[in-house]
Chains A and B, each alone.
Chain A
Amino acid sequence: MPLTPKDVRAIAELARIGISDAEARTIQGELNNIFEMIGRMQKVDTEGVAPMTHAQGVALRLREDKVTEGDQRERFQAIAPQVEQGLYLVPKVIE
């Protein structure tokens, strides 16, 4: 089922990307072409095929719950858009 401009706006909202109505219409066409190409996959019988997540079938390693990094707050916050007293500042979330 092809995507409508309304679908595109809903996806953009999920992705937190601002989008104008004109852009939604352009992107709608591009995405539909891409999904038509992707759709070729659906014709293939994959019954009983195990999904592949890693080339060597390796499970993600877990590490010990131990502190390995020292405090580098100042270093990391030096490149932040807005900080105050060691805290990242963003617009108010709760009134």
Chain B
Amino acid sequence: MLNASLKELAAGLAQRKFSSVELTKLFLGRIKALNGKLNAFITVDEERSVGQARAADALIAKRQAQALTGIPVAHKDIFVARDWLTTCGSKILSNFVSPYDAHLIERFNTAGAVLLGKTNMDEFAMGSSSESSFYGPVRNPWNRDCVPGGSSGGSAAAIAARMAPAATGTDTGGSIRQPAALSGVCGLKPTYGLVSRYGMVAFASSLDQAGPFAKSAEDLALLLDVIAGFDPRDSTSIERAKEDYIRELDKPLSGLRVGVPKEHFGEGLAPDVGAAVEAALAQLEKLGAKRVPIELPNSSLSVPAYYVIAPAEASSNLSRFDGARYGYRAKDYTDLADMYRKTRAEGFGKEVRRRILIGTYVLSHGYYDAYYLKAQKIRRLIANDFTEAFKRCDVVIGPTSPTVAFKIGAKTADPVQMYLNDIYTIPANLAGLPAASIPCGFGAGGLPVGLHLVGNYFAEARLLNVAHQYQKATDWHRREPAGLQ
């Protein structure tokens, strides 16, 4: 049952082969057995989860089940859930029990899914390794000395270790796709504006987007069906007709034009990752796809532009954490300004403080044009590169990350090295395009390699189709880490 697809689990529930309570307890047991080793979850609440499962079983008994009714789903601890501790991996929210539900949580509740627990993450989603959490680093199930990627590392590790059949994450610069790649699971970042940001703790609002983690593209499609859709409470949510993301899964790939950007295969790409990605491209050609060389000439500017835009927006968003209305407040202070300074110095970790300082500087008087405005113009150039590319291809494919998972602690001393992990994923965030990562083999040390697929705006169904067809012909996504028990 741990390896079953969501469709198989839903069928098992519908046929009463097992109940949602049994299924939920199975995964809770798995979490109990493995979390000490992996630290993938921050909060688990057995009683509450089993209560939800019981309600789901009642719906199933009345034949009122939807596609995900009774299925346990783990959520990144960035989504607020009513009466659940929601920490965002930070000391400053370490006592924050949410008074309301995020839009995404509401959607899963309405679907009758079970909230299995809240997953660990880089503090405020700032990181590529899940090491900056106040709750300690998440470990990679394939090799516990390695990072699982980040920032949604807890969700990725939970899927890889079969501690959850489905999970959610957020992706501002690669935070779903990079951990999916490093942990050997599937992850999707939808088009910017497709999933509501309401109740998702804000990092960089013009880039943040929520999306699912799962073992297969087919499962991702089922999850996207639940979470996508307009929400008036998010001012950047897009108003468009509801789509069926499963409809194109079985379409053959003959005639598919796969754009291969030469900039993503150059210097910095580890040979083991390059070889796995090349093999995947060859496999897609075997399935009828045609390889089209493309150029993304401004690709190398994506990391510099991102490290202006994301910290700038973060410095503004994180100004709300001041110890006045909720969250952590410093113990001793002399006046209001001192309370703010101490609360924020003690409540935020190193990386978060660093990014707030970058953002504060680039937005400060006299620097706005040179940094933020300049970065927004570069952002346009990067988006234009994709517009040109999509005139000649249907999907852009390359590596998700330049290397396989690295050792815990290997990059914490050099922020710039850490930032370069996201060199292939950031362009899709800046352009606002949908993108996914799926397993495509193994590299050095037997660690998983991720294949990165970028689609045109709102082409999620097509992306998932390509991924699903690839997964019908290969079994990389079925591999699971050994020696966990």
Contact = CB atoms under 8 A, between A and B. Distances in A.
B432 A56 contact: yes
Interface residues of B, number: 71
Contacts of A53: 206, 376
B99 A91 contact: no
Interface string B321-363: 0111111010001111111111011001000011011101100
B354 A90 contact: no
B415 A14 contact: no
B2 to A, nearest CB: 36
Contacts of A67: none
A44 interface: yes
A55 B370 contact: no
Contact of A41 (B315, B327, B374): B374
Interface stretch (B231-239, B242-250, B475-483): B231-239
Interface string B62-91: 000000000000000000000000000000
Interface in A57-82: 58, 60-61, 63, 72, 75-76, 78-82
B301 interface: yes
A91 B377 contact: no
Contact of B193 (A35, A37, A58): A58
The DSSP consensus for interface residues of chain B is: helix
Contact of A54 (B96, B206, B340, B341): B206
Contact of A34 (B358, B431, B432): B358
A27 B323 contact: no
B99 A78 contact: yes
Contacts of A93: 335-336
A79 B326 contact: yes
Interface residues of A, number: 49
A50 interface: yes
Given A40-B304, A91-B333, A11 B380 contact: no
Contacts of B56: none
A30 B457 contact: no
B376 A51 contact: yes
A49 B381 contact: yes
B191 A55 contact: yes
A22 interface: no
A56 B357 contact: no
A39 interface: yes
B237 to A, nearest CB: 8
22 contacts: A30-B354, A31-B354, A33-B414, A37-B419, A38-B304, A38-B307, A42-B374, A46-B378, A50-B377, A52-B377, A54-B192, A54-B432, A55-B433, A58-B236, A60-B235, A61-B232, A61-B235, A75-B99, A79-B99, A80-B326, A91-B333, A93-B336
5 closest A-B pairs (Cβ-Cβ)?
A: A55-B432, A51-B376, A18-B345, A18-B341, A46-B377
Interface of A: 3, 8, 11-12, 14-19, 27, 30-31, 33-35, 37-42, 44, 46, 49-56, 58, 60-61, 63, 72, 75-76, 78-82, 88, 90-93
